[in-house]
Amino acid sequence: MANIKKIGIVAATAAAVVAAFTFAQAKAKMEASAPAVGTAAPSYFLPDQDGQMHTLASDKGKAVLLAFYPADGTSGCTLEAHSLSSAYKDLKALGVTVYGVSVQDPKSHKSFCTKEGIPYTLLADTEKKMSAAYGVLIPGVGIANRVTYLIGADGKVAYIDTNVNGHLLTCGEDWAAWVKAHPAASASARVSLASFSPSASGPAVIGKSAPSFTLPDTTTGKPVSLGSLGTSKKATVLLFVSTRCPVSNAYNSRMAALAKKYTALGVAFAGIDANTTESTREIADFVKQQAFLFPILKDSDDKVADAYAAHVTPETYVIDKQGVLIYHGRIDNDMDPANVKTHELSTALDAVLAGKPVARPEAKAFGCSIKRGG
């Protein structure tokens, strides 16, 4: 009896040692093998949901998007699949071959594709070699982490998104926006900035996913999406501003100071100008003149202002790293710095950085109406 018990303990200890060893080994291997941007992408040779084989060599000369995900049919993976499915047409038009990669077998992939109407190819990494080669295999668990690689037409890693969970609902369109902004990454991407069309979803509700959008930066002309702003950031602040509104202008130095302070703490900032009366050039000059550390995006058709139901300048929004809108409203209670008593925007940012709920998620003040187009 005593002997049996003793053997049991020894066996359990041995199992624990093996598990610990595997974990350390896997972790070390994962860190060592994760390819960096600019390095050659690891090759692969895997079947898809129909049993057809795919290799990096056969995809040579094309940009390849590899969306590693943990498992078919789970909720996060389904959300990601929906976003990637809706962006699939855009990615294809940009010359990007799209693969979802997980450790389930072709049969599981087939039923996931059918059930969710997934138009892109799912690779079955049942031996976990590809997941390991890309450094995404979760140690001890043996499934792929949610990481996306974009491989350029030259076969080198062009972009790695390790924060897919931070923008699950918009990841597909955010990746398409990234490819559009980096045409060199895909040889067959015949995309000029002129063909880029601004977009936004909606509406904005406190506690819900903030509407995604893609708008041009007035300084560089390049598209900026909500996802690209917030990737690997602790929060994102959107500031609806105007170059001419006296209230917005009364806040210029306060906005610059807030951006300086909170950018250093890991918060992303972007201004949005939705006034049809203010041109891109005027806004770009304004950014330069104010020495803002953040870009101001041009919302020409008021799509984003409409999606966010923004009405005044300045009007601000704070989005947490999960993409949820957590604050909407004023910067502080008064345009005249002498009368300022409460600082709602910085209070909200302090709360989100401390991992606490925002006590006052909405605060209004008088401002200039946004001059919308016809």
Q: Mind telling me the catalytic residues?
A: 77
Restricting to residues 297-356, which ones interact with another protein according to CB under 8 A? 309-312, 315, 329-330, 333-336, 338-339, 342
Chain residues 137-176 in contact with another protein, contact rule CB under 8 A: none
Closer of 227 and 329 to another protein (Cβ): 329
Nearer to another protein, 326 or 370 (CB): 370
Of 246, 266, 357, 373, which lies in the binding site for another protein, with binding defined by CB under 8 A?
246
Supply the minimum distance, in Å, between the C-beta of residue 294 and another protein.
22
| Residue 187 buriedness (CB in 10 A; 0-12 / 13-18 / 19+) | middle
Residue 132, classed as helix, strand or coil, is helix
Q: Answer yes or no whether residue 365 interacts with another protein by CB under 8 A.
A: yes
| Least distance from another protein to the Cβ atom of residue 250, Å | 8
> CB of 337: closest distance to another protein in angstroms?
11
- Applying CB under 8 A, the site for another protein has a residue count of 25
CB of 40 to another protein, least distance (A): 52
- 97-116 residues in contact with another protein (CB under 8 A) are none
Tell me which residue has tokens 């057809």. Answer: 52
* 155/202 with CB nearer another protein: 202
CB of 366 to another protein, least distance (A): 4
DSSP H helices in 62-128: 75-93, 106-116
For residue 155, what is the enclosing H or E element?
A: none
What SS3 state is found at 168? coil
Whole-angstrom Cα distance, residue 47 to residue 122?
8
Stretch that binds another protein, among 228-236, 258-266, 282-290, 361-369 (CB under 8 A): 361-369
Return the residue of 79, 247, 256, 324 that touches another protein, per CB under 8 A: 247
Distance CA 103, CA 130 (A): 9
* 69 to 55, 75, 125, 183, 278: CA distances (angstroms): 19, 11, 11, 26, 43
State how far the Cα of 319 lies from the Cα of 358, in Å rounded to an integer. Answer: 11
Q: Cβ of residue 252: shortest distance to another protein, in angstroms? A: 14
Using rule CB under 8 A, residue 278 touches another protein: no
Nearest to another protein of 271, 314 (CB atom): 314
Burial class of residue 201, CB neighbours in 10 A (0-12, 13-18, 19+): middle
Contact yes or no for 365/330 (Cβ under 8 A) = yes
The dihedral formed by the CA atoms of 340, 346, 350 and 351, expressed in degrees to the nearest 10: 90
Q: Is there binding between residue 136 and another protein (CB under 8 A)? A: no
Nearest CA to 242 out of 269, 279, 213, 206 is that of 279
Q: Which residues pair with 213 in a beta bridge?
A: 200
Q: Which residues bind another protein (CB under 8 A)?
A: 246-247, 309-312, 315, 329-330, 333-336, 338-339, 342, 362-370
